C-alpha cells in the first residue's frame, strides 16, 4: 500500500524530499511549485524552479498557481483525491481549502527546532543568532505560521564556522529521510503528534537588504555569525575604496581572529584580520561585485588591503 501524495515545494532544498518520496513507492499525484521566474543568461527567459524541473524529469504533473484565492484552486486540489500533502519550502501560504483538502492533512518539513525560528529564514536566523544546533521537523500544518503539532524531529549540530549554505546542504537530505519515515509511519497509523510548547517561540523573518551590510562595531562573535548566516546568499558586505572608488565586497567566509583595534580597522594584510567592537574576525573568502568567490590570499593578490585600512 502506498500514499497518494500532493507534493508542494520550490527550491533545491525540496528536491531530495520529492525524489525520496517517489523512490519510496508513493504515488505523487501532483506537484505544486512557484511559477517560473525570469532568468537565463539575459535574465529574461522564464526559468522553472528546481522542483518543477525534477517533477518534469519524473513525469509528474506540475501546477504553478500564483496564489490560491480562486475557488477553483481548492476544487482542483481536492479533485486529486490525495491522502496527504507534503510541503517543503513551497513559498505560498496555504488557505483552509488546501489544508483540509486531503484525507490526512498537510505535513510540512521545516528547517528548525520548533517553536524556535518559525517563518521564512530559519537556517539563516539560527546561524546569525549563534545557535549551536538546529534540525528538521515534520509537523502537521494548521492555519498558523509553523504552529502545528510536531510529528518527527531530527537534530544536527551547527559548527562554529558553518555557513548557511553548508547548513542548507546538510539539512536537505535530512529533510528527505525524515519525511520518508514520517509518511511510512502515517501510512501505518503510527505517527503521533505533539503540540509545540508555548515557550521559546522565535520568528525567522525574511532577510532584508538593509541588514546585509557588516557592522564591524559589533562584537566579533556577532560579526562572524552575521557573515556566515548570510553566506553565500545574499552575502554580507562592506565597502572598500579601490582606485579611488568605493566597491562593494561580499564576505562569504570568516572565523574568529586575534587582536584589537578600531572597529573596521585591518590589523594585518595576510591573513586578513579586521578589528570589531570587541575582538576581531579573520576574513577567509571574499567576492567583488561581478567577480567570483576567492580565498583571501587570492583576493589580496589583485586587491591589496594593507594594515590600517578602514572597512565600512
Model pLDDT for residues 109-130, shown as the tens digit of each residue: 999 999 999 999 999 999 999 9
Q: Name which of 150, 91, 138, 84 is nearest 111 in CA terms.
A: 138
- Identify the pLDDT of residue 1: 63
- Closest by Cα among 8, 203, 171 to 92: 8
CATH topology (fold) of 4-203: Rossmann fold (3.40.50)
Domain coordinates of the chain in residue numbers?
4-203, 209-302
pLDDT at 254 over 70: yes
Instruction: Name the superfamily (CATH) of residues 209-302.
Output: Formyl transferase, C-terminal domain (3.10.25.10)
Tens of pLDDT along 201-236? Answer: 999 999 999 999 999 999 999 999 999 999 999 999
Q: What is the pLDDT of residue 242?
A: 80
pLDDT-based confidence at residue 42 (cuts at 50, 70, 90): low
Residues in the annotated binding site for (6S)-5,6,7,8-tetrahydrofolate: 112-115
Tell me the pLDDT of the chain averaged across its residues: 95
- State the pLDDT at residue 45: 84
pTM of the model: 0.94
The answer to whether the 4-203 and 209-302 domains have the same CATH topology is: no
Tell whether the model's pLDDT for residue 190 goes beyond 70.
yes
Distance CA 53, CA 257 (A): 43
User: Locate cell 517560473: which residue?
Assistant: 36
Specify the pLDDT at position 104: 97
Confidence of residue 142 (pLDDT cuts 50, 70, 90): very high
Residue 69: pLDDT band with limits 50, 70, 90: confident
- The confidence score (pLDDT) of residue 300 equals 93
Binding site residue list: 112-115
List, in sequence order, every beta strand (DSSP E) within 143-212: 150-157, 203-204
Q: Write down the pLDDT at residue 41.
A: 67
pLDDT at 43: 66
What share of residues in the chain are helix, strand, coil (percent, to 5)?
Answer: 25, 30, 45
Contact 292, 286 (CB under 8 A): no
Q: Positive or negative CA dihedral for 150, 154, 155, 158?
A: negative
Average pLDDT of the segment spanning 163-180: 98
Under 8 Å CB-to-CB from 92, ≥6 apart: which residues? 8, 34, 65, 67, 68
Q: Please name the residues in contact with 144: beta carbons below 8 A apart, sequence gap of 6 or more.
A: none
Question: Look-up: residue for cell 504553478?
Answer: 64
pLDDT on residue 40 = 66
For the cut 90, the answer to whether the pLDDT of residue 269 exceeds it is no
Q: What pLDDT, on the 0 to 100 scale, is given for residue 156?
A: 98
CA angle 22, 110, 66 (to 5 degrees): 75
- Ramachandran category for residue 11: left, alpha or beta (phi over 0 → left; psi -120 to 50 → alpha): beta
Order the strands of the 4-9 sheet from edge to edge: 62-63, 27-32, 4-9, 84-88, 106-110, 133-140, 150-157
Amino acid at each position: 500500500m502506498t500514499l497518494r501524495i500532493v507534493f508542494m515545494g520550490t527550491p533545491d532544498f525540496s528536491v531530495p524530499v520529492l525524489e525520496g518520496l517517489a523512490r519510496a513507492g508513493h504515488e505523487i499525484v501532483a506537484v505544486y511549485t512557484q511559477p517560473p521566474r525570469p532568468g537565463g543568461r539575459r535574465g529574461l527567459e522564464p526559468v522553472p524552479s528546481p522542483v518543477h524541473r525534477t517533477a518534469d524529469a519524473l513525469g509528474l504533473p506540475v501546477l504553478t498557481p500564483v496564489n490560491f484565492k480562486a475557488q477553483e484552486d481548492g476544487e482542483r486540489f481536492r479533485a486529486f483525491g490525495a491522502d496527504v500533502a507534503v510541503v517543503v519550502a513551497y513559498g505560498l501560504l496555504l488557505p483552509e481549502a488546501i489544508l483540509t483538502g486531503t484525507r490526512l492533512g498537510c505535513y510540512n518539513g521545516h528547517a528548525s527546532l520548533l517553536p524556535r525560528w518559525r517563518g521564512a529564514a530559519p537556517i539563516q536566523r539560527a546561524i546569525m543568532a549563534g545557535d549551536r544546533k538546529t534540525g528538521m521537523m515534520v509537523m502537521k500544518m494548521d492555519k498558523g505560521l509553523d504552529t502545528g503539532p510536531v510529528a518527527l524531529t531530527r537534530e544536527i549540530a551547527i559548527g562554529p564556522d558553518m555557513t548557511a549554505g553548508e547548513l542548507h546542504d546538510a539539512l536537505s537530505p535530512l529533510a528527505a529521510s525524515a519525511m520518508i519515515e514520517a509518511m511510512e509511519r502515517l501510512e501505518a497509523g503510527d505517527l503521533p503528534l505533539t503540540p509545540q510548547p508555548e515557550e521559546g517561540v522565535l520568528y525567522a523573518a525574511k532577510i532584508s537588504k538593509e541588514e546585509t551590510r557588516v557592522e564591524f562595531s559589533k562584537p566579533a562573535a556577532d560579526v562572524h555569525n552575521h557573515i556566515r548566516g548570510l553566506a553565500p546568499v545574499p552575502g554580507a558586505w562592506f565597502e572598500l575604496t579601490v582606485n579611488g572608488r568605493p566597491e562593494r565586497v561580499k564576505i562569504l567566509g570568516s572565523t574568529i581572529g586575534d587582536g584589537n583595534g578600531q572597529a573596521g580597522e585591518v590589523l594585518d594584510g595576510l591573513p586578513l584580520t579586521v578589528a570589531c567592537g570587541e575582538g576581531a574576525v579573520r576574513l577567509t573568502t571574499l567576492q567583488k561585485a561581478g567577480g567570483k568567490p576567492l580565498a583571501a590570499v587570492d583576493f589580496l593578490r589583485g586587491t591589496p588591503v594593507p594594515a590600517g585600512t578602514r572597512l565600512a
